Structure 1
Amino acid sequence: MNKQSVQQEEELIYWVEDIKDKNGSSAAALYIIKDNQVVMEHYSGRHSHEENARHVQADSRFNVASARKSYLGLAAAYALYDRYIESLDDPITRYTTDLDSKLFKDTTIRHLLTHSHGLDVDEHGHCFREFRTGTSWAYRNIGVDIMTKLIANLYGKGFPQLLEERVFSKLGLEQTGWVTEKDENLVNIIGEVNEPPLSGIGTTNDGTEKNLFVSPREFALWGLLHLQKGRIDGEQIVPAEVIERSTSIQNGRYADSSLPDNGFFWYVQGTPRMKSEIGDRVPRGSYQILGVTGPTLLIIPSLNVVVAKMYNKRYNYGGKDYLYFLREFSNKVSDLFSSGK
């Protein structure tokens, strides 16, 4: 390892720790795989700010919040592979009678998976249209909710159960799951720093709640599965085309060229976009996903790198400048491994 690489690696860990301290996270972890080898494993802090809280360890499991969408995205790719969904461009109304046919007219599976559906829900729970389908981009959870229900209806089981059968059991995952009971290895969620921590535990494991907890190692392994096109230790666990479909750009072109490109909920790097969470120095074909509490999974295929970064503070990167911090980190990772580490 050359002197420059050592310095960049130290800067990467310093950056992770600085964000943890500035934004009020009590816990942080960084787990990096390069060329199928673990090259960085860093844990710090405690499961909450409480005095006797458990120290973060290798088996600590973080609530990954919206990063769970990458798991739902893979389930959606399976539904296409299994022909439960005929085409990405099928209208969602073809598969359900529960939606307003007028409001959801021309809203396709593709639109729902790429945040280009143009729908939102008001404070009274009423769905309304923000913009015409496919013409713009907005991060709204209604698309996630619809896809979650769709997968459950198509398979007769929630997408977590589908993935347990198809993927998790074959990977031997033991620290990945939608949690409904307390356990000492669960990292609490920090809402306000001066308030009691939140458990993040849910009431069901069917994927309808934000209660997915994952250890840093298994989060990185999830990324490695995607990097290697579904192949782990010589076994093709997931068909390569399922992975490729979910992690390649699937949205149409937008009039606003600053809007991000998406695969199946993943942010995907094509031409760098100013409103993407992926930095402009990150190579084409890379993809990333994150959650509101700070966990981030970044895959850079051209550098053969997977990065799992974990925090536990809601709105961990602050307010309007959160994209700056996300882009800065991904650029630092790219710089480190592009330099020949």
Structure 2
Amino acid sequence: MINNKKINTQFNSAVSNVRKTSELVDCSGASVFIIHNDNIVTEEYWGKHSTAPDFREIQKDTQFHVASVRKSYIGFAVAYAVYERYIDSIDDLIVKYFSPNSMPIFNGTTIRHLLTHTHGLKSINGELHREFSPGINWSYRGVGIDMLSQIVKNTTGKSVAEIVANNVFKPLNFTESGWYGEGNEKLVAVIRKPNDPNWTTSKRTDGTKMNMYVSSRELAKWGVLSS
């Protein structure tokens, strides 16, 4: 795994940009970790885990809430299911992997549509609605990610978190990446508006919820693997 350090000033402008952005948004701290030509060339940390007083400083083992970046890990779990032949193809219709009583609204929707946010499905007050026919448009909706997680579970018998842990985190000795049901001192607090429906906490750690935290250094290494 990439551990060689050749720190240089080549990416100082990137660090400066992140610093300026962190000052403009509601942010308590940040970090920049850059890998270039298989070397760690930039590694900087600043600020604290929260705007509240006496919180821990941002440092190497600090884990940030990665929000939608978790979709890349879910995509890996889908790729695993295809590679191991639990799923025949991402162009399969999703009804193939749900119960025989799947809702008609799923008709014409493939796994590829879910992966690319072209499925046209939207959840409104817990009920599914169709915004557009599959494949004719694009819309960023979380319902597709929920369905992918369920397809992975239905086909492999394993959760997204299990697949990623067993095939990525454990072999590479990643100890700062995962889904967390409880807080700890290494996790950065999520700054959000009161009663914001887009940010909820969950005790589930199976990979289906938006409670994934990753350190900058492990996220950078994951990015190299995924490129």
Tell me the TM-score normalised to structure 1 length: 0.60
Query: Partner of 1:88 in structure 2?
Result: 90
Q: Structure 2 matches for 1:216-235, cutoff 5 A?
A: 216-227=216-227
Contact persistence 1:182–1:201 (CA under 8 A)? no
Aligned residues: 216
Give the RMSD, CA atoms, in angstroms.
1.9
1:9 paired residue number = 11
* SS of match in other structure, 1:170: coil
Query: What is the match of residue 128 of structure 2?
Result: 127
- Residue of structure 1 in register with 2:102 after alignment: 99
Give the Cα–Cα distance (whole angstroms) in 1 for the partners of residues 102 and 27 of structure 2: 39
Paired residue for 2:115? 113
Aligned to 1:312: none
Letter paired with 2:98? T
Shift of 1:104: 1.1
Q: Residue 58 of structure 2 aligns with which residue?
A: 56
Q: 1:239-258: per-residue Cα shift (whole Å, max 9, x none)?
A: xxxxxxxxxxxxxxxxxxxx
Q: Deviations over 1:132-168 (max 9, x none)?
A: 1111111011110000111112121211111111221
Alignment check: 8 A CA contact 1:93 1:104 kept: yes
1:177 Cα deviation from its structure 2 partner = 1.0
Q: Distance in 2 between matches of 1:201 and 1:105?
A: 32
Provide the residue aligned with 1:315 in structure 2. Answer: none
| Counterpart residue number, 1:206 | 206
- SS of 2:171 mapped into structure 1: helix
Q: Is the 8 A contact 1:46 1:54 kept in 2?
A: yes
Aligned-pair CA distance for 1:120: 0.5
Residue equivalent to 2:150 = 149
Q: d(CA) in 2 for partners of 1:130 and 1:28?
A: 37
**Shift of the alpha carbon at 1:201?**
5.5
Q: Distance in 2 between matches of 1:12 and 1:145?
A: 34
Tell me which residue corresponds to 1:32: 34
Q: Deviations over 1:181-213 (max 9, x none)?
A: 221111101114x99xxx976301101211111
CA-CA distance at 1:225 after TM superposition: 1.5
Write out aligned runs for 1:298-337 (5 A). Answer: none
In 2, Cα distance between the equivalents of 1:9 and 1:207?
33
Match of 2:76 in 1: 74
* Equivalent AA in structure 2 for residue 213 of structure 1: Y
1:274-328 per-position Cα deviation (integer Å, ceiling 9, x unaligned): xxxxxxxxxxxxxxxxxxxxxxxxxxxxxxxxxxxxxxxxxxxxxxxxxxxxxxx
Q: Is the 8 A contact 1:189 1:200 kept in 2?
A: no
Q: Is this contact kept in 2: 1:111–1:117, CA < 8 A?
A: yes
Mark the runs of 5 or more structure 2 residues left unpaired by the alignment: 1-7
Secondary structure class of the residue paired with 1:171:
coil
Are 2:160 and 2:208, in contact at CA under 8 Å, matched by a contact in 1? no
Residue by residue, what CA displacement relative to the aligned partner does 1:59-85 show, whole Å, maximum 9, x if unpaired?
100010111000000110111111111
**Is the CA contact (8 Å cut-off) linking 2:66 and 2:212 kept in structure 1?**
yes
2: distance between equivalents of 1:163 and 1:27? 28
Matches of 2:58 and 2:189, distance apart in 1: 11
**In 1, Cα distance between equivalents of 2:159 and 2:226:** 21
Q: Secondary structure at the match of 2:53?
A: coil
Find the aligned partners of 2:41 and 2:108 in 1 and give their Cα distance: 47
Residue 53 (structure 1) shift:
1.1
> Is 1:188–1:200's contact at 8 Å kept on the other side of the alignment?
no
Tell me the equivalent position of 1:307: none
Query: What is the distance in 2 between the residues matched to 1:154 and 1:117?
Result: 20
Q: For each residue in 1:108-132, what CA deviation from the matched residue of structure 2 results, as whole angstroms up to 9, or x when unmatched? A: 111111101011011x211111111
- Contact between 2:177 and 2:214, CA under 8 Å: does it hold in 1? yes
Q: Which one-letter code corresponds to 2:57 in the other structure? A: H
Using the alignment, how far apart are the partners of 1:188 and 1:91 within structure 2?
A: 39
CA distance in 2, matches of 1:119, 1:177: 28
Partners of 2:152 and 2:168 in 1: how far apart?
16
Structure 2 length normalisation: TM-score?
0.90
Q: Which amino acid aligns with 1:99?
A: S
User: Does the CA-based 8 Å contact 2:48-2:55 persist in structure 1?
Assistant: yes
- Runs of 4 or more off by more than 4 Å in structure 1? none
Letter of the 2:161 counterpart: P
